[in-house]
Structures are given as structure tokens and as C-alpha cells.
Amino acid sequence: MTQPTPESLIGLFNGLFSETLNTELVRGDDEPIYLPADASHPKHRVIFAHGFFASALHEISHWCVAGEQRRQLVDFGYWYKPDGRTAEEQAEFEKVEVKPQALEWLLSEAAGHKFHFSADNLGSDIGASKEFKSAVLSQVKRYLVDGLPERPAALIKALQHYYATAPLSADQFSLDGK
């Protein structure tokens, strides 16, 4: 199996979406961000943090969830509060992260890369809740049973082909060891 690298992921993503959806995956130096096309940049950019493969998959997952209108907004117009969230703010964060993290888990498996739940709250001792992890797992299984949206389905197929990974099935996903 080919080892997952940011360079190969950039190539696969851009090969699929640069021309068809005018969107490129870009290695960033700092915080991840999505930037729609503008006068200075003719293509939309999914920018991931510090060249980290997992960051790229996470940002791609948000892009896969975002509809056409949200893809015209910086960071898809999402609410975001940085580290140090309260329990209530963390619960709100988890609500909007279920689908992106479910897609990230699927993309990770397709690339042969270990998935980790992200509470994205390093400034607090509040981690990903059991309820959140269960909701993400349920969404993964729902996607596999009901079918994936077009963009993540195309990317998963490309990842499986490039990284020589097996087809995804609902029974391979569980919270054991997570």
C-alpha cells in the first residue's frame, strides 16, 4: 500500500476538483481556512494547516458538507470559537461537526490513515464526548448504507484506487480503541 502523503492527496483532490469545481487543495503554513475565489485567486482554496495529512482530510470534509452558497463564503460562513470553549459551546461545536468528522473518518479509511476524533478544544480539558463519537459513528454507517454525496464519493473512490485500500463497509467501523 502506498503511504498517504499531503502531496499525493493534493494531486488527487486537485485532479478531481480543480477544473470541475474550480477548487484546489493547498498546503498552508498556519491555521486552516477555506477561501472562495476572488480577484487575486481565480480558484476556491481549501487550505490545510502545516502540511498535516489529517488537517487536509478534515478541511476537505468541511468542503464536502458545504453547499454551493456556503462555498462562496470565507470558511463557509461557519460559526467558530477557538480553544477554551465552555461545555455548552463544546456541545454546539459537536452538533455541527458530526457530518464533517464522519466524512473525515471515511476519507481516512480510504487513504489507509488513522482517524482521530477532534474536539478542537486544546485550551480546555473538554474532549470529544461519548455522545459525539456515537453520533459520528452513526453518521458513518448512515452514509455507507444510504450512499455518499457525489464529491466525497468521488474522492473516496480515488483514494481507494491510489492507496490500494479495500472497499468501505459499515461493519469495519466501531468505537473500539477510539
Rounded average pLDDT per 10-residue block, the chain, 178 residues: 90 98 96 95 96 95 96 86 64 82 97 85 58 94 96 98 95 86
Residue 121 and residue 84: Cα distance in Å, rounded? 6
Cα dihedral 6→11→16→22 (10° resolution): 90
Contacts of 130 (CB under 8 A, 6+ apart): none
pLDDT of residue 129: 75
Decide: 67 and 60 in contact? Cβ < 8 Å.
no
pLDDT of residue 121: 44
Q: What residue segments make up the domains of the chain, in order of their start?
A: 6-77, 87-172
